[in-house]
Structure 1
Amino acid sequence: MGGLMLILSLCLWAGSMFVVQGEDPYIFFTWNVTYGTISPLGVPQQGILINGQFPGPNINSTSNNNIVVNVFNNLDEPFLLTWNGVQQRKNSWQDGVLGTNCPVPPGKNYTYHFQVKDQIGSYIYYPVIAMHKAAGGFGGLRINSRLLIPVPYADPADDYTILAGDWFSKGHTSLKKILDSGRNLGRCDGVHINGKVAKGDGKDQPLFTMESGKTYKYRICNVGIKTSLNIRFQGHPMKLVEMEGSHTVQNVYESLDVHVGQCYSVLVTANQEPKDYYVVASTRFTRQMVTATGIIRYTNGKGPASPELPPAPVGWAWSLNQFRTFRWNLTASAARPNPQGSYHYGSINITRTIKLSNTAGKVDGKLRYAINGVSYVDPPTPLKLAEYYNVADKVFKYDNIADDPPAKISEITLEPIVLNLTHRTFIEIIFENRETAIQSWHLSGYSFFAVAIETGTWTPEKRKNYNLLDAVSRHTIQVFPNSWAAILLTFDNCGMWNIRSEIWDRHYLGQQLYVSVLSPARSLRDEYNKPDNSLLCGIVESMPKPPPYSI
């Protein structure tokens, strides 16, 4: 009897050890990045493919999955991917931007390893070096809710991804040369939907199929480089259910403005006459509207799509009013990002207010874009590596822009921009657009509360207009011409994180910065150590590895 009890005790002990040591599931990918011929506007040109695909493969994951992506760079120049909106808790080493990662040299590979911790929703990945994004290399990344946690709508009949964006026929190397010469890119040549444009000649193959009476989920992302898009379904309204990782109040829309870098999820019910219909993407805030269509086909349907497309909205005031209808679904029980602090964000005291004003100007006769008078340039040594190896003072200066810039900025300087933020402080950031072009801003590593967008100039009295109850938690926000946007968040995710313009010519010419959130205790509870497979470059390339963080 004593022996049996011993065996049972050992079994129970072993079982408990298994539970403690067990990891969340892993999903593995091997990606070969190459050049190839693509024709998004019907004219062959060089594009960037992943495993021969344009757009790239869709990552289909579930909350808390570990994602391992081994990327082989078969291009003739350095390459780097970022995972737009994936929060990378305590792990800016995997963010895939030049402030944290050395680029992958031609003929080499790098393995990303990150966990989609406590997230759900629709995201994208894309290349960040030079103008690679203008040639492809992008794709969808979805994070499904775990089966044990319900979502606030019935399971759809299918789950589709729409990657729409503006397109330039010149190619990424030509676009880079235009910007390097000090000129503006001008307007796009067209728009694509999943790398295609329907010809409307009756021979188009459907992008998606639907069966009468069933409801489908469409994840809509703007993967373009500079142009906001309006997305609409011919004859079918959309029910908005998720936005950049947050379940939303389920309002119904005839069309949605999706700004560069943003992703929305909608439900569409196949309740019309069984035939073909168009999904429509058209440019917004451009002098001439450019439109692309794709076919949605009812199974067993008969008849082509009507050539009469649903009209696009006019003016940016319409878009601003639509933003004000977006609300966070506070009753949803599915995984919701806890944006670094309490859900009662409206009652937290603001410890620092930072105003970021975008401006355009000339430096040595060439166009540059700046934030608070400074245009960002990438140093040869990634900022995060410089911090980790304790040589930050040789690479950049902290807090080299003012929190409250002057009303008029007459001169633009060139240097890295790094804000030093105290761990776990609650901060207000005001994006101030002093120009006549719409802006789109992204913050990596975090979700923030998008509490207001308004016209005119921000003042502290404007806080009385903030939504302090159910503003959507998201990672990208647009700022309309001569307007401002306010976000609130607690910076509790240690690392070096990028605040960047999603308007890619602006990003390339300096409209970005980094925020450094350091662990005071250098503890693994706050931040992971540098991965052993990290590429080294710049002044740290031959330096000895610093002592690792510990518990």
Structure 2
Amino acid sequence: MSVNLLLFLCLWASSFLVTRSEDPYLFFDWNVTFGTIAPTGIPQQGILINGQFPGPNINSTSNNNVVINVFNNLDEPFLLTWTGVQHRKNSWQDGTLGTGCPIPPGKNYTYHFQVKDQIGSYVYYPTTAMHKAAGGFGGLRINSRLLIPVPYPDPADDYTILIGDWFSKGHTTLKKMLDGGRNLGRCDGVHINGRNAKGDGKDEPLFTMEPGKTYKYRICNIGIKTSLNFRFQGHNMKLVEMEGSHTVQNIYDSLDVHVAQCFAVLVTADQEPKDYYVVASTRFTRRVVTATGIIRYTNGKGPASPDLPPAPVGWAWSLNQFRTFRWNLTASAARPNPQGSYHYGGINITRTIKLANTAAKVNGKLRYAINGVSHVDPPTPLKLAEYYNVADKVFKYDIITDTPPASIQEIQLAPNVMNLTFRTFIEVIFENRETAIQSYHLSGYSFFAVAIETGTWSLEKRKNYNLLDAVSRHTIQVFPNSWAAILLTFDNAGMWNIRSEIWDRHYLGQQLYASVLSPERSLRDEYNLPDNTMLCGGIIENMPKPPPYSI
């Protein structure tokens, strides 16, 4: 065989492999069951995934296809969401009651989504009932492909730390309390990765570190309502990423982690070899509740000191910390997709939406609302009703206006859905008129968190926006009697949940959905209804499937 022919065959074979190749797949089988857990030392019923609490950590790489077959072995419907994963063109996989049916007891459902260039730290958790208060949650990381460098050396290891508040009453009792119109009150404890060190010298370490090496810790607040401060005893943290964006690498001795937020930090084992505590304690609560865990040096000699590093005081400290977070403009990733625009500060705002939270009683029972409407999930999921062209039988669009009333005296119970024009650049203002801190999440998107300030928002406040290097993220806190502003392009077609991550508020109606429809109804903008989609609610179950979208 001639050299030229051999070269041709090699080139042909390589091109064939390239054109036929597909992004890698990750397959998981998850069995969801009840089991006994004791995060704060009190045994109670919890939700396990494959017998684990917290659940398995998903370790993926950008562009991976993730396929998770979830078997619901509980005695009630169950549903998972993947917070921060954008599900481009694919709100079917978002895992909320507005986009799909929950998995019935004894049945299974297979999630299939692709993680794009969202290199960072995320979590998954249940969205049905008060299941999040019982477990069923875990970490989800998206690593960088080899061709996309990260702006720091590879760490010696990569650890996930899930912190959260905990209620010892159990999720069924908590649900009954809320259904009966009562408030949950304060948490009973705090956990770190599902446990709390006893401090008796017999605690097993959460993780180990080798002297002189640097480790990456992904810290996520997986709780249901309480902001937490997290810190390492005797060690500083270098912040490198938050919610899918590389940050300017500032040094912190502690971080306020609000509900559903994630931070990635680098910690160097440069202290005396022994045990050290990591500490998580409640913020903005009258009684401070603390949990600890052990980090052990591999050649360590001696227990951790009982003198814990102190927590900060006051929410002004937390607001000032927010202002130190900056997007790393020199990093090649993680960054939003081009549709989100790297030059967001130069785009004309086409619409301003102000969303105000409210607490009130309806028929003597506590409800929470946004702009006077307390969301109720209809039996037929909103997205399915829209896809089957029967939305008018299930909900009404735009029952709230872009500007909330100055004073909200009454609350309406209804599905809360806003129409948003595809690919428009929108400003959203979250107004907190109450004395409790809020935390909001927008599914399907990352947004630019350009400002948090006290008082009342006005057009003049735009001059205080960070229009250069605000971090692109998916969750933002709003302090008492304050407001927060975000900017984003609604370029991801689908039905997307804007929700309070304070879970009792979410359960009692403080959420809405953004309907973003592509006028072309094309596969270039949105995927078709998956073949394995469950149908529920009665209206659509016997209807013929609508014609699929085409390119």
The TM-score range, normalised by the shorter chain, is over 0.9
Would you say the 8 A contact 2:245–2:333 is kept in 1? no
Would you say the 8 A contact 1:100–1:384 is kept in 2? yes
Code of the aligned partner of 2:512: L
Q: Which residue of 1 aligns with 2:550?
A: 550
Q: Which residue of 2 aligns with 1:159?
A: 158
TM-superposed CA distance for 1:117, in Å, is: 1.1
Q: Which residue of 2 aligns with 1:285?
A: 284
Matches within 5 A, 1:175-254: 175-254=174-253
Matches within 5 A, 1:92-491: 92-338=91-337, 340-491=339-490
Q: Which moved more, 1:66-75 or 1:21-30?
A: 21-30
Question: The residue matched to 2:256 in structure 1 has which SS?
Answer: strand
Q: Which whole-Å CA distance do the structure 1 matches of 2:486 and 2:399 have between them? A: 21
Structure 2 CA distance for partners of 1:359 and 1:296, relative to 1, 3 Å: same
Would you say the 8 A contact 1:340–1:493 is kept in 2? no
Q: Which whole-Å CA distance do the structure 2 matches of 1:20 and 1:522 have between them? A: 27
Would you say the 8 A contact 2:120–2:334 is kept in 1? no
- Residue 530 (structure 1) aligned with residue 529 (structure 2): yes
Would you say the 8 A contact 1:281–1:291 is kept in 2? yes
- 1:2-43 alpha-carbon deviations (Å, 9 max, x no partner): 999999878755643442332100000000000000010111
Q: Which whole-Å CA distance do the structure 1 matches of 2:503 and 2:269 have between them? A: 36
Structure 2 CA distance for partners of 1:13 and 1:543, relative to 1, 3 Å: farther
Q: Which whole-Å CA distance do the structure 1 matches of 2:293 and 2:433 have between them? A: 36
Structure 2 CA distance for partners of 1:17 and 1:38, relative to 1, 3 Å: same
Q: Which whole-Å CA distance do the structure 1 matches of 2:10 and 2:147 have between them? A: 27
Structure 2 CA distance for partners of 1:274 and 1:14, relative to 1, 3 Å: closer
Question: The residue matched to 1:340 in structure 2 has which SS?
Answer: helix
Question: The residue matched to 2:182 in structure 1 has which SS?
Answer: coil
Question: The residue matched to 2:339 in structure 1 has which SS?
Answer: coil
Q: Which whole-Å CA distance do the structure 2 matches of 1:6 and 1:236 have between them? A: 62
Question: The residue matched to 1:540 in structure 2 has which SS?
Answer: coil
Would you say the 8 A contact 1:99–1:496 is kept in 2? yes
Would you say the 8 A contact 1:231–1:258 is kept in 2? yes
Would you say the 8 A contact 1:339–1:490 is kept in 2? no
Structure 2 CA distance for partners of 1:144 and 1:375, relative to 1, 3 Å: same
Question: The residue matched to 1:470 in structure 2 has which SS?
Answer: coil
- Residue 540 (structure 1) aligned with residue 540 (structure 2): yes
Q: Which whole-Å CA distance do the structure 1 matches of 2:153 and 2:12 have between them? A: 40
Q: Which residue of 1 aligns with 2:19?
A: 20
Q: Which whole-Å CA distance do the structure 1 matches of 2:445 and 2:369 have between them? A: 23
Q: Which moved more, 1:373-382 or 1:12-21?
A: 12-21
Would you say the 8 A contact 1:339–1:448 is kept in 2? no
Code of the aligned partner of 1:401: I
Would you say the 8 A contact 1:248–1:472 is kept in 2? yes
Code of the aligned partner of 1:171: G
Q: Which whole-Å CA distance do the structure 1 matches of 2:215 and 2:92 have between them? A: 36
- 1:262-309 alpha-carbon deviations (Å, 9 max, x no partner): 000000011110001000000000000000000001111111100000
Structure 2 CA distance for partners of 1:339 and 1:284, relative to 1, 3 Å: farther
Would you say the 8 A contact 1:340–1:489 is kept in 2? no
TM-superposed CA distance for 1:542, in Å, is: 1.3
- 1:484-522 alpha-carbon deviations (Å, 9 max, x no partner): 000000000000000000000000000000001111111
Matches within 5 A, 1:14-93: 15-93=14-92
Code of the aligned partner of 2:61: T
Q: Which whole-Å CA distance do the structure 2 matches of 1:378 and 1:339 have between them? A: 33
Q: Which whole-Å CA distance do the structure 1 matches of 2:343 and 2:488 have between them? A: 11
Q: Which whole-Å CA distance do the structure 2 matches of 1:149 and 1:13 have between them? A: 27
Would you say the 8 A contact 1:131–1:172 is kept in 2? yes
TM-superposed CA distance for 1:338, in Å, is: 2.5
Unaligned runs of at least 5 residues, structure 1: none
Code of the aligned partner of 1:66: N
Would you say the 8 A contact 1:375–1:413 is kept in 2? yes
Q: Which whole-Å CA distance do the structure 2 matches of 1:4 and 1:312 have between them? A: 71
- 1:452-483 alpha-carbon deviations (Å, 9 max, x no partner): 00000000110000000000000000000000
Would you say the 8 A contact 1:54–1:136 is kept in 2? yes
Q: Which whole-Å CA distance do the structure 1 matches of 2:290 and 2:130 have between them? A: 23
Q: Which whole-Å CA distance do the structure 1 matches of 2:517 and 2:2 have between them? A: 53
Code of the aligned partner of 1:548: P
Would you say the 8 A contact 1:79–1:103 is kept in 2? yes
Q: Which whole-Å CA distance do the structure 1 matches of 2:51 and 2:114 have between them? A: 26
TM-superposed CA distance for 1:400, in Å, is: 1.0
Code of the aligned partner of 1:542: N
Question: The residue matched to 2:15 in structure 1 has which SS?
Answer: helix
TM-align CA RMSD? 1.5
Would you say the 8 A contact 1:26–1:65 is kept in 2? yes
Tell me the number of residue pairs that the alignment of Structure 1 and Structure 2 aligns.
550
Structure 2 CA distance for partners of 1:213 and 1:545, relative to 1, 3 Å: same
Code of the aligned partner of 2:66: I
Q: Which moved more, 1:19-28 or 1:217-226?
A: 19-28
Would you say the 8 A contact 1:372–1:401 is kept in 2? yes
Length-normalised TM-score, structure 1: 0.98
Code of the aligned partner of 2:141: R
TM-superposed CA distance for 1:92, in Å, is: 0.3
Percent of residue pairs identical: 86
Code of the aligned partner of 2:317: W
Length-normalised TM-score, structure 2: 0.98
Q: Which whole-Å CA distance do the structure 2 matches of 1:339 and 1:86 have between them? A: 17
Q: Which whole-Å CA distance do the structure 1 matches of 2:477 and 2:36 have between them? A: 33
Code of the aligned partner of 2:49: I
Code of the aligned partner of 2:435: T
- 1:430-449 alpha-carbon deviations (Å, 9 max, x no partner): 00000000000000000000
TM-superposed CA distance for 1:335, in Å, is: 3.6
Q: Which whole-Å CA distance do the structure 2 matches of 1:428 and 1:279 have between them? A: 38
